[in-house]
């Protein structure tokens, strides 16, 4: 009791300072207008969606799953989904680092948005910062990209003080991790977006697991995303940052992205950007995949380390996924 008393007494000045700093911080606009949006409702009209719909029709109510164990293929799959998306991309993550893999995926999302794909990103605010706020706000300027923070802290510079002052609210975090393309294919699992999760940072040895899914379960994954996205806890970037970004900020971001990714030659050799023609040829390959795919093709998810464009290798993932849907089915009501 004596120790607890002194600890409480010593913490009092810190809490007072935290409350004062938090009170003087710019207020988050919780009433900022948020336009509700929902997942794409016709995945079967897309190239990839049509591929899986054919198999799903043969197994009503069932879904197919393919496990992605290694970090390299897990990242390659996300890049390919961004490259082959035709309508929508939805991403929800606890961590999205501004390291090499984070920048590469952001670049692919930007390219997708330039093609007319609607991109929605929901990121937990726990690891955000003022500098990251500015970069994300610049990306949010794109007319086809919308980014929201989950439960943001009030003070963007002195985050710890703000957390102490509002611990009851700020302690509610979002650890969801999902990526969905055209509401046709989804990836869920333990990987956030950062080098350590994809085997790029050599002094780390993370072991995580992703599940690529197709069939009715993807609509349930998307419904979960929509629930968080349209909730009062998800705030648009503009409601949080000090200054709204401009078109000039977006142009500057594009330039810095290009410079940083060009400098990261060792990583880019493993996860290269590809011309639009690669995606078009991949879609042609997808359309010509045979109807029957053996369940053993799931093993193709462990790809070799050869240098290939993500959209060129993705048909192997889709082939494996449809094989899973044909042979390794599971009720779509659970994952």
pLDDT more than 90, % of the chain: 39
Residue 149 has pLDDT above 90, yes or no: yes
Domains contained in the chain, CATH given: 43-302+309-331 (3.30.870.10)
Does residue 247 have a pLDDT over 90? yes
Rg (C-alpha) for the chain, rounded Å, is 21
In the predicted model, is pLDDT for residue 245 greater than 60? Answer: yes
For the chain, the straight-line distance linking the first and the last C-alpha, in angstroms and rounded, comes to 47
Using the predicted structure, report yes or no on whether residue 252 has a pLDDT greater than 90: yes
pLDDT in tens, 35-76: 999 999 999 999 888 888 877 787 788 888 888 888 888 888
Contact 267, 200 (CB under 8 A): yes
Specify the pLDDT at position 269.
Answer: 54
- Type and span of the H or E element at 91: strand 88-93
Please say if the pLDDT value at position 268 is more than 70. Answer: no
Q: Quick one: pLDDT band at residue 80, thresholds 50, 70, 90?
A: confident
Question: 57: exposed, middle or buried (C-beta count within 10 Å: 0-12, 13-18, 19+)?
Answer: exposed
**Lowest mean pLDDT, pick from 80-94, 196-210, 214-228:** 196-210
* Residue with tokens 């197919």, as numbered in its chain: 64
* DSSP states of 139-187: HHTSTTEEEEEES--S-SSSHHHHHHHTHHHHT------EEEETTTEEE
How far apart CA 95 and CA 112 sit, in angstroms, is: 21
Please tell me the least confidently modeled range out of 97-111, 130-144, 286-300: 286-300
Question: Given this model, what pLDDT does residue 274 score?
Answer: 53
Residue 91 binned pLDDT confidence (cut-offs 50, 70, 90): very high
pLDDT-derived band at 276, boundaries 50, 70, 90: low
* pLDDT, tens digit, 9 for 90 and up, residues 21-31: 444 455 688 88
Is the pLDDT assigned to residue 119 strictly greater than 90? yes
Does residue 312 or residue 52 have the better pLDDT?
A: 52
The pLDDT of residue 294: 25
Q: In this model, does residue 288 exceed pLDDT 50?
A: no
Closest CA to 119 of 158, 159, 157, 147: 147
């Amino acid at each position: 009791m004596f120790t607890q008393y002194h600890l409480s007494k010593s913490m009092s000045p810190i809490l007072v300072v935290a409350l004062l700093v938090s009170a003087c911080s710019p207020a988050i606009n919780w009433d900022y207008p948020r336009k509700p949006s929902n997942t794409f409702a016709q995945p079967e009209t897309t190239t990839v969606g049509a591929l899986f719909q054919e198999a799903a029709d043969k197994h009503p109510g069932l879904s197919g799953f393919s496990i992605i164990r290694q970090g390299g293929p897990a990242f390659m799959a996300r890049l390919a989904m961004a490259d082959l998306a035709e309508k929508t991309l939805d991403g929800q993550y606890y961590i999205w680092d501004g390291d090499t893999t984070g920048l590469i995926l952001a670049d692919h999302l930007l390219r997708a948005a330039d093609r007319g794909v609607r991109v929605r990103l929901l990121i937990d605010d726990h690891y955000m910062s003022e500098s990251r706020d500015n970069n994300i706000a610049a990306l949010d300027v794109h007319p086809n990209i919308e980014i929201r923070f989950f439960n943001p802290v009030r003070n963007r510079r002195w985050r710890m003080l703000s957390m102490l002052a509002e611990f009851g609210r700020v302690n509610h975090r979002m650890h969801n991790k999902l990526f969905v393309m055209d509401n046709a294919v989804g990836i869920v699992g333990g990987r956030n977006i950062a080098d350590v999760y994809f085997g790029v940072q050599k002094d780390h040895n993370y072991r995580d697991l992703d599940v690529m899914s197709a069939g009715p379960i993807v609509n349930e994954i998307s419904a979960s995303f929509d629930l968080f996205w349209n909730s009062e806890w998800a705030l648009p970037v503009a409601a949080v940052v000090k200054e709204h970004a401009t078109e000039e900020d977006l142009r500057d971001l594009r330039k810095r992205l290009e410079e940083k990714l060009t400098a990261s030659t060792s990583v880019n050799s493993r996860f290269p950007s590809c011309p639009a023609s690669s995606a078009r040829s991949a879609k042609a390959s997808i359309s010509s995949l045979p109807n029957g795919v053996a369940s053993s093709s799931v093993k193709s998810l462990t790809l070799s380390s050869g240098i290939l464009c993500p959209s060129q290798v993705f048909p192997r993932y889709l082939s494996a996924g449809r094989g899973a849907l044909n042979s390794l089915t599971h009720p779509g009501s659970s994952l």
